[in-house]
Each structure stands twice: as C-alpha cells, then as structure tokens.
A and B are shown apart, each in its own frame.
Chain A
C-alpha cells in the first residue's frame, strides 16, 4: 500500500538532539504525519522516491498549528494539530501504516497555509532577476 496525498500515516522521523555538553546525536521519533506530496510533483518537483509531510502533534504551543477539529471522526486517538512549517522530506520506507485521511476542504486549507508560509514573491523576483542576468551574459 502506497501513501497518497491527504492521508495521515505513522512515520519514523530522525530528530537532532543536543545534550548538556553540547554533543549532538540523532534520535528517532514515531508519529502521525500528513502527506502533502507523494513524489508526483504537487508541491515539489517530481521525485518518486520521496514524500513531503507535515507533523501532527497534540501540543498547541511553539509552532503555528492548525487544529484537526474532527479528529475523533477521523479515528485519531487524541485531539491533534498539524504543525505548519516547511514540509519535511521523508523516504517511502519511513512510512509505516495509514491511519486515516484528511477531508478535501481541510486539505486545501493546509495547502493555503503552506502557500502563505513560503515567500513566493521574493522567489519569483529572484527567478526574474537571475533570468535577466543570464540573458545579459548571453548577449
């Protein structure tokens, strides 16, 4: 079974951890995640090996969050929030099992939040600037 856009899966994610001495190590976490792109090129260029996800959490503190108000109907065990941040890249093998899927309207809302998060205008300006420079070079 392949994970598909809009589905919520359990995934294993590496986390950087810093101890009291400042030493850094990599630890693992297993948590529900929302699939935003399954490698077909919806938000990031096609890459059939990798997925882009957002983490789910029950904590409503540090990050910008979007509550899943119908968490019970979706079969989630606790009131959950989607962490709104740059989507994280995962490999297929990190995805363990499907839990549920997000209804269309909620999914569209999450994509809207991601759109607002990314500075599309500055990226576009730099794209145009680079093309102008390249064009001048080639004249």
Chain B
C-alpha cells in the first residue's frame, strides 16, 4: 500500500517511462479506454517455449 508521497514518486516514474510529463500522463490515464479487441479463441504459438528450452508438455494445463 502506497502513501501519497510514494504514489507521486511512482507516478513520476511511470510518466518518465512512457515519455510523458506528469500532466500528460494523468490526462492519458484519465482518458484510458480498452482499445484492443482480444480474440477469445486465441491459439498460442508455442515457439517461445522452444526458445526457453521447453515444450508444450511443460505447461500446466487446467484440469477438468
């Protein structure tokens, strides 16, 4: 849990990482909307697993 001081420090941190001033950052956050349509039937490309030295067998799949 953050105090006001800690929150403001993190806010500055976030704004800098996004290349914004604090004012721009706050406006951006205020006007945030979900803009990306996610595909519910997303199929994973498991090539990333190969890069990490794994296969699909290493995944913990949901049971039942």
A interface residues with partner B (beta carbon < 8 Å): 1-2, 4-6, 10, 12, 15-20, 24, 27-32, 38, 40-42, 44-48, 56-59, 76-78, 80, 92-93, 95-97, 104, 107-108, 111
Interface residues of B, count at CB 8 A: 38
Say yes or no: A27 contacts B7, CB within 8 Å: yes
Question: Nearest chain-A residue to B14 (Cβ)?
Answer: A31
Residues of B near A104 (CB, < 8 A) are 51-52
A77 to B28, CA, bound (A): 17
A58 to B19, CA, bound (A): 12
With A15-B2, A17-B2, A41-B60 known as contacts, the answer to whether A4 contacts B45 (CB < 8 A) is yes
Name B's interface SS: loop
B interface residues with partner A (beta carbon < 8 Å): 1-4, 7, 9-11, 13-14, 16-19, 25, 28-29, 32, 34-36, 38-39, 42, 44-46, 48-49, 51-54, 58-62
Say yes or no: B29 contacts A47, CB within 8 Å: no
- With beta carbons under 8 angstroms apart, the residue of A1, A6, A96, A97 that contacts B48 is A6
Residues of B near A80 (CB, < 8 A) are 17
A104 to B25, CA, bound (A): 31
Say yes or no: A1 contacts B1, CB within 8 Å: no
Say yes or no: A96 contacts B35, CB within 8 Å: yes
